Structure 1
């Protein structure tokens, strides 16, 4: 059985869920971004406790199939942008279809209806947030960042960076005072800008 959890977008979130499952006594097999494999359904009291404790962390148990699909898409994109060592050299649409095992057109339609934006725009925003983070770390130059994020060139990254943030990546690097957006808030920022 799987539990689906909204806003579970980082390793820290996974640790929170793991700790809370253990406290409540719900055994688990594996914890992923946005979902937990459990051997058996929790009883009503355990489910209620988990729902309450997760909400205190800004996490939410989901049962609606469309909400679950949108969250799976978001978490797959986050995983692709942040945690995959080398970005896939295939189209984003093919990558998502393979990972989620659904037709991309179907996923894109559901995502757009439910969020008000496209999957591609969501990917771009995630990549720019990751670029901002990497710029702030000051360990990689823009060429290395563009390669890491699978951009065709520094110019392509720079164009999208300016389009999304309103400033150049170089200016952002010099000032480094811009605040980053929490992963779970990227979609709401994207909706405000479109």
Structure 2
């Protein structure tokens, strides 16, 4: 028997943080998935414990400020793309600038220097990932997906999908439908 799963990464990460930080009785506040503030500075021993406890879940503590900013940018882009009402209201550059209190030029520069890719490319990748999720789990039509992800047309969505995955959305849908029939 095969079971398909969908994960709520935000919930999982928050739960892990709460469990591991709570085990130390540290007073903290989770500002976002990539930012935790401690009420008082943890001891070196407590930091080592937290580091080891989180690493077994694939969570690493970021010491470098640029990397932390890039992680926050990625998190905000994911949040924006997953909230279709918000993504219709804001363009990504304004949203990031407003949330992070930096100019978009600065954010774009830091992102590119750290990841060797652009914010725009990351946005496209996240949109295509969401498009695949909508095809797999919701059986949305391409028109519905284009509308949901704020594409100007189905042709624009299809072009980005093919460039990113090597498949047209229609070919991807056929593969998924064939898999579902064979289960």
- TM-score range (shorter-chain normalised) is 0.7 to 0.9
2:51 aligns with 51
Report what 1:25 is aligned to: 25
Q: Which has the larger radius of gyration?
A: 2
Counterparts of residues 4-15 of structure 1 (less than 5 Å): 10-15=10-15
Query: Contact conserved, 2:84 with 2:149, CA < 8 A, in 1?
Result: no
Q: Which has the higher helix share?
A: 2
Deviations 1:55-75 (A, max 9, x none): 111111112111111111111
Partner residue, 2:97: 97
* C-alpha contact 1:88 1:95 (8 A) present in aligned 2: no
The answer for the alignment partner of 1:111 in structure 2 is 111
Point out where structure 2 has 5 or more consecutive residues left out of the alignment: 1-8, 178-183
With the length of structure 1 as denominator, give the TM-score of the two structures. 0.80
SS of corresponding position for 1:36 = strand
Q: How many residues align?
A: 169
Q: Does 1:156 align with 2:151?
A: no
- Contact 2:29–2:37 (Cα < 8 Å) also in 1: yes
More displaced stretch, 11-20 vs 26-35: 26-35
For the structure 1 residues 158 and 85, does the alpha-carbon distance in structure 2 shift closer, same or farther, using more than 3 Å as the test?
Answer: same
1:129 partner SS: helix
In the alignment, what sits opposite 2:181? none
> Deviations along 1:6-63, whole A, 9 cap, x unmatched?
xxx6321221112111112222233422112332222222111111111111111112
Normalised by the length of structure 2, the TM-score is: 0.85
Partner Cα separation in structure 1 for residue 14 and residue 135 of structure 2: 26
Residues 123-142 of structure 1 correspond to what in structure 2 (within 5 A)?
A: 123-142=123-142
- Going from structure 1 to structure 2, the CA distance change for 1:35 and 1:88 (only over 3 Å counts) comes to farther
Alignment correspondent of 2:79: 79
Aligned residue in 1 for 2:6:
none
* Pairwise CA distance, 1:83: 4.4
- Give the conservation status (yes or no) of the 8 Å contact 1:14–1:31: no
Q: Does 1 or 2 have the higher relative contact order (CA < 8 Å, sep 6+)? A: 1
Instruction: Report how far residue 84 of structure 1 moved.
Output: 5.7
Superposed CA deviations along residues 65-98 of structure 1, whole A, max 9, x for unmatched, are 1111111111111111224654143321111111
CA RMSD of aligned residues (A): 1.8
